[in-house]
Each structure stands twice: as C-alpha cells, then as structure tokens.
Amino acid sequence: MEKAKGSGLLLISAGSQLTSMVVAGFLLGYGVDVLLKTQPIFFLSFGMLGLVGGTLKIYRILSDPDLQ
C-alpha cells in the first residue's frame, strides 16, 4: 500500500480534526434530517458518529502518522 510521503504533516491537523469531525457529523446529520424530516435523530446520531470517528482518527494519526 503506497502512502503519500508527507502524511506525517497530518499531525498538524490532529488538533482540529476532532472538532471538525464532530461538526461535520452534525452538519451531515442536519442535512439528512432536513431531507427526511426526522428532526433530531440523524443530527444526534451522526454527531455521535463524528465524535467516535474523530477520536478514532486522532488515535490513528497519533499512533501511526503514515497510516493516515
């Protein structure tokens, strides 16, 4: 699996990765909610997913910068 060499620079983004993933989750959930008129369900669940994913991602970035 060939990875880009400069992926180590992703460490720079580790700080804001978590926040932006949570925000992205909320945004995506909000969008789906508006589409399906299921107000808070997807908003919350996607937000949670974003939080979990963000944490995981941070963990991965910090433990092995080459594996994004």
- Could you tell me the two tokens for 36? 């399906």
Report the residue from 33, 43, 46, 61 that binds other proteins according to the rule CB under 8 A.
46
Contact status: 50 vs other proteins (CB under 8 A): yes
Angle at alpha carbon of residue 23, lines to 19 and 26, rounded to 5°: 145
- Reported residue count of the chain is 68
End-to-end Cα distance, the chain = 12
For the record, the structure tokens of 22 come out as 């949570």
Candidate list 34, 56, 62, 67; residue touching other proteins; CB under 8 A: 56
Q: Is 61 in the site for other proteins (CB under 8 A)?
A: no
Residues that bind other proteins (CB under 8 A): 1-7, 9-10, 12-13, 16-17, 19-21, 23-25, 27-28, 46, 49-50, 53-54, 56-57, 68
